[in-house]
Each structure stands twice: as C-alpha cells, then as structure tokens.
Amino acid sequence: MQADDLAHENVDVPEWGGTVRVRTLTGSERDAFEQSVITRRGKQVDMNLENLRAKLAALTIVDEDGERLFSEADVQALAQKSAAALSRVFTVAQRLNGLTNEDVEELAENF
C-alpha cells in the first residue's frame, strides 16, 4: 500500500500571510471527522456543527511532506481565525474529500 493517493491543493490565505496546503483525509481521519459532527443521545441524533470548519482545517492543512500542521488541540485556536480564511480552506477541503452538505445530513440519518 505504498501508493500516494492523498491529493492536495494549495490555497491562498492572505489573512494568514500566504498559502496553505490542503490534502485529502485518510480513511481514519474521515471517520474521526464524521464521528465528531454526530452526537447521539439514546435514540436522538444531533449534528454537532461547533467549529466544523476549524475541525476540517486542522485535519487537512499539511506541510510539504503531507504531515498535519495542526492537532485536535489546535481546533479552538483555528476557530478564532478569520471566518473568510477558514471558509476558503473548508471549501477546498470539502471538495477534495467529497464532503457535501448532503453527506453530513445522510450521516445523521444513518445513525
């Protein structure tokens, strides 16, 4: 399994002073992301959209070697950054990973 199948794209983020590299999620990262947006209380399933953009940014912003630059501990700090910058990164990460709004809604229905 040596194939490098994690596509990436550079995103201009002038608010942060340059460009960031956004890559596709690994299977385990996608599972963790999906689990983080679903909250289950008995039979009730709720969407947890708190810091959604920052969570996905933390999982997908990487260095030149494809290593993540942020951890889960950085999500709160990322969430305090420019909404325009986060939205730009989120939109690219969402597209690269095939995460549509419908995917998130389907997740909630399947739980």
Residue 4 in any domain: the answer is: no
Quote the domain boundaries for residue 42.
23-110
Q: What are 62's strand-pairing partners?
A: 21, 68
Residue 18 in any domain: the answer is: no
**Is residue 76 exposed (0-12), middle (13-18) or buried (19+ Cβ within 10 Å)?**
exposed
- Tell me the C-alpha distance between 64 and 55, whole Å: 20
CATH number of the domain where residue 101 is located: 3.30.2220
Tens-level pLDDT at each residue, the chain (111 residues): 565 788 999 999 999 999 999 999 999 999 999 888 887 788 887 888 899 999 999 999 999 999 999 999 999 999 999 999 999 999 999 999 998 777 666 665 665
Residue 3 in any domain: the answer is: no
Residue 47 in any domain: the answer is: yes
Global confidence as pTM:
0.85
